[in-house]
A and B are shown apart, each in its own frame.
Chain A
Amino acid sequence: MTVVDAPFFPAMTRRLSRTLCRDPDTGKINHPGTTAPYSEMMTVATPCQPPRRRRPSGPGSFPAFSRPPAREPRRAAAELTIRRFAGAYPPLNIFRQGDDIVLITELPGIHKKDLDIQVKGNTIRIAGSKAVQYGDSPALHRRERLAGRFDRAITVPVEIDADRVKAEYRDGILALYLPRAERDKPKSITVG
């Protein structure tokens, strides 16, 4: 666990600048697919998808008279799949446990020494590389596992106490326990 001082590396600022993308039609802020009510507070460093193109409306394009081409539904389904699953690696699940935040991600087959986790303020960066090895002179029958580098930054809505962060890597799952900083916690005030 490393805690970095300002300036935080430039790659992250570049990513963070892309986090809030407004939909040009509705003016709403786009968030990657989520239904959690709390997620409005969540800013996630995932590149936003381009807004969906609307079918032109106007005279001559009334749905009852002009049928869309037969390929249309299939393409729409493909777009939906891409939108749901494209994103930064590794995919993250974020939970709240009391006051604290728990970040869980699946990183099978990564050595602990190849993982680099940094925390500053309310931003967490997970970087590393994954290697896939095959035996000597192999005949490959099936190749589905991917190898490569990854670097992802995520901002959570609370400030994290970087000194008390715990990282656990077990059975290919990385869990980060991010305690909320004392100074960020709300203070209860008694009416005198």
Chain B
Amino acid sequence: MATSQALEVQEKKELVSKEEKTVPARYFVPTTDIFETADALTVVMELPGVDKQALDVNIENGVLRVEGRIDHSKYEGMDPLYTEYNVGHFARSFTLSNKIDQQQISAQLEDGVLTLTLKKAKEAMPRRIAIS
């Protein structure tokens, strides 16, 4: 990846959700990369400030949902002087195709970046058919 260009500020998008929450909290949409290799689909999400314990990844009815919660107690005792971004939880969901082997999903969280590797189901993998 070319890293010579200057990074631009990306607006933190607030999550617009149909479902309602019982506790008022701000949710943001994490910036996400999704790419596909021959045997897996990889989802990379930026969740700055989310601890491993505060991360929730689940698949229900073919919908992958990632929710990361921020520990607001870290900001206690601090007076904001100048702010440029909002702090809030993260949530995002994706509808998966049925090509995914739902038993083989691995997740890795490093430096605020979550990498989900969703292995493709065997029947969805490209197969070479030998002609006899």
Contacts and interface: CB of A to CB of B under 8 A. Distances in A.
B4 A109 contact: no
Contact of A91 (B5, B38, B85): B85
Given A93-B82, A110-B111, A131 B46 contact: no
Contacts of B38: 137
Interface string A133-169: 1111111111111111111000000000000000001
A146 B7 contact: yes
B29 to A, nearest CB: 9
A106 B82 contact: no
A173 B78 CA distance: 16
Given A95-B79, A109-B111, A145 B6 contact: no
Contacts of B81: 36, 38-39, 42, 94-96, 101
Interface in B1-21: 1-11
**B interface, by DSSP: helix, strand, loop or mixed?**
loop
Contacts of B111: 108-111, 169, 171-172
Given A88-B9, A149-B3, A172-B113, A144 B31 contact: yes
B78 A96 contact: yes
Interface of A: 32-34, 36, 38-39, 42, 44, 81, 84-97, 101-102, 106-111, 129-151, 169, 171-173
Contacts of A150: 6-7
A93 B84 contact: yes
Interface size class of B (residues with CB under 8 A): 35 or more
Contacts of A145: 31-33, 44, 46
B2 A147 contact: yes
A101 B47 CA distance: 25
B4 to A, nearest CB: 7
B34 interface: yes
Given A89-B7, A93-B87, A109 B112 contact: yes
B37 interface: yes
Contacts of A38: 79, 81-82
Contact of A133 (B1, B11, B49): B1
